[in-house]
């Protein structure tokens, strides 16, 4: 195949036994960029019947300019794919590091288990390892809060129900909510512990 300056020159490809195309030379460049064709893809001019791999045509240097004709297929890959790299060919090796500035003396390792055992022995010696007997002690403020909450809500809701009309009942429940919020805020938000 000879590439000419004619822009109407078109090519067809044979991929997986399916003919695709026709493509211009610019279209073939796009297919190479997208990774759809490789140097082993079969190609033919639009007016010819014989398909040849791109590697065997004059299109090879045009479509794959960086491909070394003598390089085995493992050393190239289409764009977007990872090539299988031969480490010996490219000279990859293990990185080696040396400690050149480390002049500090070696310290012994810190053993966390030993530290925790020492802390535990100190707790036992101080008598702090026993459970507390009065852990759930209710404060005087909590007792006062619950007494005022229950008594106040009974008075407000009970007064609304005693009026025996819908508006009074609704206002009784609304007043109960406001009273509860105000009591909670004043007892735990404003006052100190007692």
pTM above the 0.75 mark?
A: no
- Return d(Cα 126, Cα 85) in angstroms, integer: 67
Residue 87 has pLDDT above 50, yes or no: no
- Return d(Cα 141, Cα 79) in angstroms, integer: 75
More confident: 96 or 177? 177
Sequence-ordered strand ranges (E) for the chain = 11-15, 18-23, 42-45, 52-53
Residue 79 has pLDDT above 90, yes or no: no
User: Quick one: pLDDT at residue 5?
Assistant: 54
19 - beta bridge partners?
14
More confident: 182 or 34? 182
User: Quick one: pLDDT at residue 2?
Assistant: 45
pLDDT tens, position by position, 118-170? 998 998 888 877 776 666 778 889 999 999 999 999 999 999 999 999 999 99
More confident: 174 or 106? 174
- Return d(Cα 32, Cα 41) in angstroms, integer: 10
Percent of the chain exceeding pLDDT 90 equals 25
Give how far Cα 56 sits from Cα of 12, 16, 34, 82, 115, Å. Answer: 15, 19, 21, 24, 74
57 in helix, strand or coil?
coil
pLDDT tens, position by position, 39-75? 888 888 877 777 888 777 877 777 777 765 554 454 4
More confident: 166 or 93? 166
């Amino acid at each position: 195949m000879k590439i000419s300056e004619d822009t109407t020159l078109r090519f067809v490809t044979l991929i997986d036994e399916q003919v695709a195309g026709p493509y211009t030379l610019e279209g073939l460049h796009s297919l190479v960029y997208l990774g759809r064709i490789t140097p082993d893809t079969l190609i033919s001019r639009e007016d010819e019947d014989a398909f040849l791999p791109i590697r065997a045509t004059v299109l090879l240097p045009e479509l794959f300019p960086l491909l070394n004709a003598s390089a085995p297929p493992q050393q190239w890959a289409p764009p977007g794919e990872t090539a299988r790299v031969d480490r010996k060919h490219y000279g990859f090796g293990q990185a080696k590091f040396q400690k050149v500035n480390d002049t500090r003396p070696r310290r012994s390792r810190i053993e966390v288990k030993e530290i925790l055992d020492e802390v535990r022995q100190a707790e036992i010696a101080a008598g702090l390892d026993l459970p507390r007997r009065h852990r759930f002690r209710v404060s005087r403020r909590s007792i006062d809060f619950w007494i005022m909450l229950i008594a106040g809500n009974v008075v407000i809701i009970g007064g609304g129900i005693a009026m025996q009309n819908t508006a009074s009942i609704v206002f009784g429940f609304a007043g109960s909510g406001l009273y509860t919020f105000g009591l909670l805020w004043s007892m735990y938000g404003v006052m100190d512990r007692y």
